[in-house]
Amino acid sequence: MASYTISPVQSELKMTLYNKEVYAGAGINGVTVINKEPMGTTWVFSWPVTDGPGTNANIVGHLQGTGVQVANTPNYVWHYSLGLVFGDKRFNGSTLQISGTSQINGEWSIVGGTGELSMAKGFRYCWL
């Protein structure tokens, strides 16, 4: 009996996306649920993600999750657990799971995905 091995098909996807964070006023999309000083403050959010930086950019999904302050240093350090839920035509219903700590190499890990992005892996640059 013959034995066959099927290698998974892999492809590289590069996207530049933007998110808009609003913590007060009209259009609020993030709230503080625990406010502990000097560390431990926790945010919950659902930031819209767009394909461009301008006001005419298309919303392609939402970055949903939590951020927790994990260090009390001059430049606060936060740990993020995020799900990028796509709603655009190409990846509608697919997700990326993203995790990482701010100000550490400027990268967060992509640790999985669903739908068209199942078994995703990689990294995403974040702000420094």
Instruction: Give 63-122 pLDDT, tens digit per residue.
Output: 999 999 888 777 778 889 999 999 999 999 999 999 988 766 667 888 899 999 988 888
Bigger pLDDT: 41 vs 9: 41
Amino acid at site 34? I
Number of folded domains that form the chain: 1
Is residue 15 assigned to a domain? no
**CA-closest candidate to residue 30, choices 8, 42, 45, 17:** 45
pLDDT of residue 101: 84
User: Is 20 part of a structural domain of the chain?
Assistant: no
Q: What is the dihedral of CA 50, 51, 53, 57, to 10 degrees?
A: -80
User: Which domain range does residue 85 map to?
Assistant: 31-125
Top-confidence residue, 100 or 28? 28
Side chain identity, residue 84 = L
Q: What is the pLDDT of residue 8?
A: 67
Q: How far is 7 from 19, CA to CA, in rounded Å?
A: 35
> What is the value of pTM for the model shown?
0.80
Q: Which position has the token pair 């936060």?
A: 78
